Amino acid sequence: MAEPKPDCAMEDGPGASALVWYQRIVWAGIFANIVITLTSIIFTAQVIALLDLDPATPLVWPRFGAFGILLLTGFYIPAGIDPCRSCFATVFTIVCRFAGFCFFAVVGGRYLAFGLFDLFFGAPQAVCLYLAWQRTKDAAAGKPPGGGRAVAFLLALIFLAAFVWGAAQVLLAPILPKYASDEDHFKYGSIGNDGAAGVPYAIWVALPDICAKHLPAGTTGYAGFGFLWEQGRDAARDTPVGFSRAKAGVERMSINCAICHTVRARSTPDAEPRLYFGGAANTIDIQAYQRFLSNCANDDAFTGATLIPAIAAKVKLTLAEELLYRAVLIPYVRDQLKKQGEAYAWTDKRPTWGPGRIDPFNPVKFGMLGLNDDGTLGNSDMLAVWNLRARAAIRTPTPYHWDGLSTSLHEVAVSSALGDGAVAKEFNDASIARIETYLRDLKPPPSPHRPDPAAVERGKALFGAHCGECHAEDGARTLTVISGEIGTDIQRNLMWTQAAADAYNAYRKGRDWDFKSFRKVDGYITEPLYGLWLSGPYLHNGSVPTLRDLLNTPEQRPRAFVRGLDVLDGANGGFTSPSCDPVNPPAQGFCYDTALIGNSNAGHVYGTALSASEKNDLLAYLLTL
């Protein structure tokens, strides 16, 4: 006697066709699961590399996960054989597919590709099963055939939207180059801003050609902004130091920490320049670069008709890529760069930064933290980041930045990445940790200067008597924040407010950043003088060109001088810095005017009362640091 069909039977009648398609898709999914899981078990490392997934070690765990999915696939088989007599397996199959999609959507990154795999099979299974059920139900109720189409169409749209969203997450998730050495990672690694702030490489590399009139006078290409390329690299096409070139949908160019912390120097005008990583950048003009991008975006030349030929001269685009750039990327990038220019319009009311300088926190205050423009000025020199481990040994907690506004190296690194455009979605803790590890033990390069040894010894004694209290590693006041006494320009210190510190400590956009070390302190840090020979100009705002000038009274110091040059001044310390007229810009470099607000060269009169011979001896010693 035949077993009676259960009430949920849909093999016959209006729902049969949809049910058959459900079964076919289940079997296709079973076969696909077997192929994918066995491949992942046998070739685990290769699958991780192919999909550019975050490392999973030891490999036994991803293999175990794939084996678990293979076992789970066995529960799908009854649904493929007889979905009506295996109601639990029929529903379970769909639930598992959607659970897989949701799980990997939460995990995020390129692992979402596995979630899309589940959605690819789970979505049509759900639609087909719904149609089979609804049509069978309508037939039993005597309703006309064709029911459920509207709901099925709505479900299909929802699933399609979810798939498109997921695919966009996978395709736009940055594919980051991996570097064997920590130094190369520092120079070219990502800080989590590629997708959010990166300029598509094909557009970036073509901009100097179509917007040459917006480059600094007398310059060509990005070298005009003081960008640095290692020897053997092509400045017209290759990635400069301080940029990450990563694929986030398309290849993009994004700045990283090295752009502000790499110094270029030559012993003579004819010598080959050398790059020193971790030093305070002396040639980079960040503000000029930003203004170039926004000015170019506002130029009529920033169109597909002009850009595509310029791109084609340097980058080979497929027909599909060309259409993508014309229809989407060029208009989008132009709009974003215009907005960036508008966001920095407040800088037009302040003195120009110039090479080697930046206002690092006002952009954060007025942008990321949402504080109002308070009219403050934060222009200051970029900082060297050498000997961080030795620095931490001098004083705990250790103050960072010019005014000690934070006492956590990790928070400084993370907040710096955020200030450069990093976002929670792309943030990579391991990448930042690697940069921190590299910098902790990065030593300053030894000084090439060779003053008279006897003068150096006399100068060392003078240093101990007049400077060591604040600048020697064992100085009683080294790495403390001193207010008032130093007498240097106060604008940088006024810029950082208690409101800004509170807002940063409370910042939680995208994730809990766990900031708690930002603070407001009046004054500036007394720094240990690591790599002093390579750190000119001097003082926090870079207002004194050479060490010899620093030993003179403020009235005797140059009123205006050229900065941004890279030839060392072996006689005076720092870099060659000829006098200039602010009204008539020099052919090379930037004319720094100490008369402007925030640019004062006043203060730090320590050592100015020494005799001429004593100053010469002290300078001899300082040149060796």
How do residues 231-248 score in pLDDT, each as one tens digit? Answer: 999 999 999 999 999 988
For residue 162, pLDDT beyond 80: yes
Strands 590-593 and 560-563 come out as antiparallel
- For the stretch 530-549, pLDDT in tens is 999 999 999 999 999 999 99
Helix (H, G, I), strand (E, B) or coil at 25: helix
Q: What is the pLDDT of residue 11?
A: 73
Report pTM. Answer: 0.85
3-state secondary structure 272-315: CCEEEECCCCCCCCHHHHHHHHHHHHCCCCCCHHHHHHHHHCCC
- Could you give the CA distance from residue 130 to residue 118 in angstroms, rounded to a whole number? 18
Q: What is the pLDDT of residue 1?
A: 45
What is the residue type of 515? F
Yes or no: say if 83 and 23 are a contact pair by the CB < 8 Å rule.
Answer: yes
Helix (H, G, I), strand (E, B) or coil at 567: strand
Residue 412 backbone dihedrals phi, psi, to 5 degrees: -65, -45
CA distances from 535 to 154, 385, 444, 603, 617 (A): 64, 11, 10, 18, 20
Yes or no: say if 329 and 250 are a contact pair by the CB < 8 Å rule.
Answer: yes
- Could you give the CA distance from residue 193 to residue 431 in angstroms, rounded to a whole number? 12
How many Cα neighbours within 13 Å face the side chain of 96? 21
Yes or no: say if 240 and 344 are a contact pair by the CB < 8 Å rule.
Answer: no
Q: What is the pLDDT of residue 376?
A: 97
- Could you give the CA distance from residue 201 to residue 252 in angstroms, rounded to a whole number? 5
Q: What is the pLDDT of residue 15?
A: 83
| Residue 3 pLDDT class (50, 70, 90 cuts) | low
Domain ranges of the chain: 16-172, 174-259+286-352
Residue 575 backbone dihedrals phi, psi, to 5 degrees: -115, 160
Q: What is the pLDDT of residue 102?
A: 93
Strands 357-358 and 262-265 come out as unpaired
- For the stretch 494-532, pLDDT in tens is 999 999 999 999 999 999 999 999 999 999 999 999 999
Yes or no: say if 428 and 176 are a contact pair by the CB < 8 Å rule.
Answer: yes
**Lowest pLDDT segment from 97-111, 374-388, 395-409, 594-608:** 97-111
What is the residue type of 238? D
**Across 609-621, average pLDDT:** 98
What is the residue type of 496? W
**Lowest pLDDT segment from 84-88, 200-204, 274-278, 578-582:** 84-88
How many Cα neighbours within 13 Å face the side chain of 600? 15
Q: What is the pLDDT of residue 514?
A: 95
**Lowest pLDDT segment from 105-109, 349-353, 391-395, 569-573:** 105-109
- For the stretch 25-44, pLDDT in tens is 999 999 999 999 999 999 98
Strands 262-265 and 274-277 come out as antiparallel
For residue 148, pLDDT beyond 90: no
The token pair that represents 523 in the structure block? 């004054």
Q: What is the pLDDT of residue 8?
A: 52
Yes or no: say if 550 and 601 are a contact pair by the CB < 8 Å rule.
Answer: no
Q: What percent of the chain has pLDDT over 90?
A: 80
Tell me how long the chain is.
Answer: 625
Strands 243-248 and 481-482 come out as unpaired
Yes or no: say if 495 and 378 are a contact pair by the CB < 8 Å rule.
Answer: yes
For residue 2, pLDDT beyond 70: no
- The mean pLDDT of the chain is 93
**Lowest pLDDT segment from 177-181, 224-228, 278-282, 556-560:** 177-181
- Could you give the CA distance from residue 101 to residue 117 in angstroms, rounded to a whole number? 8
Distance of CA 431 to the CA centre of its chain: 10
For residue 278, pLDDT beyond 70: yes
What is the residue type of 65? G
- The DSSP string of 105-136 is HHH-GGGHHHHHHHHHHHHHHHHHHHHHHHHH
| Residue 137 pLDDT class (50, 70, 90 cuts) | confident
Is the pLDDT higher at 418 or at 175?
Answer: 418
- For the stretch 149-160, pLDDT in tens is 889 899 999 999
CB atoms within 10 A of CB 100: 20
Q: What percent of the chain has pLDDT over 70?
A: 98
**Lowest pLDDT segment from 43-47, 235-239, 306-310, 428-432:** 43-47
The token pair that represents 557 in the structure block? 């110091």
Q: What is the pLDDT of residue 9?
A: 56
What is the residue type of 134? Q
For residue 5, pLDDT beyond 80: no
Helix (H, G, I), strand (E, B) or coil at 623: coil
What is the residue type of 135? R
| Residue 167 pLDDT class (50, 70, 90 cuts) | confident
Q: What is the pLDDT of residue 4?
A: 52
